[in-house]
Amino acid sequence: MSTPRPTPRNRSWWPFALYGLAAVGFGLFTLFQPESTVLVMVMGFGVLALVDGAISLFSVFRKDIALPNWLLLVYAASSIAFGVLALVDPRLVAEVLVWLLALWLMIAGLSRIVFAVQLRHLLGGNWLLALSGVLAALLGVLFVARPGLALATVAFWVAIGALVYGGLQLALAWWIRRRARAAIVLPG
């Protein structure tokens, strides 16, 4: 009796399982350590900004770039400055982002309420749009009052996304492995 030879088809399940386990692990870490996760995400954006700034700075010396050099220099400087700030003081950057998110939510909420009032005159009422505006504005006010809650909320949704993604990857790995085993026919 010979054992079946491994093929790409029956070996391809494990990367999905590995991705799934990593995502579930990240999701659980994020749920239990939301502040650390937010700081790491801010630092990650800082690294991306530094790389983007460096590439833009080197692009000044290229002749085939469509943007003017002054704009590339301004962009490079702002990217590098943001990157350094995000790496040196990620808490400050996270706090500023929370304030911007809160301000945006309050403006978006007010805009939806005004739009709902205008729609009411045209269409006979739209309380769902007004309700979404009230909820957005209240969330913005809550984030101003409790910025730590905003960070925890962002981390919570990142965690939920990671857990769902990880679960889907694990389910896919299980499905591929099960199908590959069913496809192996042992000579009898």
By the 10 Å C-beta count (0-12 exposed, 13-18 middle, 19+ buried), 167 is classed as: middle
Query: Does residue 7 form part of some domain?
Result: no
- Tally of domains in the chain: 1
Whether residue 62 is contained in a domain is answered as: yes
pLDDT: which is higher, 63 or 14 = 14
- Whether 122 shows a pLDDT value over 80: the answer reads no
**Within 10 Å of residue 51's Cβ, how many Cβ atoms?**
13
Let me know if residue 110 belongs to a domain.
Answer: yes
CA–CA distance, 59 with 53 (Å, rounded to integer): 10
Q: Which residue segment(s) compose the domain that 174 sits in?
A: 14-179
> Residue 157 corresponds to which tokens in the numbers above?
């949704």
CA 136 – CA 107 distance, rounded (Å): 9
Q: Do 135 and 108 contact (CB within 8 A), yes or no?
A: no
pLDDT tier for residue 187 given thresholds of 50, 70 and 90:
low
Checking if the pLDDT of 66 tops 90, the result is: no
Q: Is residue 60 part of a domain?
A: yes
pLDDT at 134 over 70: yes
Q: Is the pLDDT of residue 184 over 80?
A: no
CB 91 within 8 A of CB 39: yes
